[in-house]
Amino acid sequence: MEQTIPNYLGSERSVETIFVEELLRKYYKQGNVVLDIGGIPTNSEHLQSFYSFIRDNKIDYRVSDFRQCDYPGDFVQINFGDQKFDIGIFLSSLEHFPQCTESDLSLIHI
């Protein structure tokens, strides 16, 4: 990807959606189940082409997030049961889960 992307979302998500679409175009195979942990925002008119791409290609695209989605809540604690995913997307999310960012503070001895 060698292009300038306008920061229409005011965050890194502006380029991430383009990146995710490129990866799905390259690696997604019909019948795959995709899990997006953290979720790409659904409330932006700038992302409609991304969601059209998902819909038009009949991609089974699921989201685990704190907002309303397929698997709501803290993904670390969600019981997915026997559900399996072929592609996992985990962009700009890790820093939002305390277990992933604060637990290492206990290792610091001052």
Structure tokens at 83: 């559900």
Asked if 71 and 99 touch (Cβ cutoff 8 Å), the reply is no
Amino acid occupying residue 84: K
Q: Is the pTM of this model over 0.95?
A: no
Structure tokens at 81: 């049961």
Return the domain boundaries, the chain. 13-96
Across 1-110, the runs of DSSP E, i.e. the strands, are 33-37, 60-65, 71-72, 87-89
**Three-state secondary-structure class, residue 66:** coil
Q: Per-residue confidence of the chain (110 residues) as pLDDT tens digits? A: 456 777 777 776 777 778 888 899 999 999 999 998 877 666 667 678 888 888 999 999 998 877 778 888 777 778 888 999 999 888 766 666 665 555 555 555 44
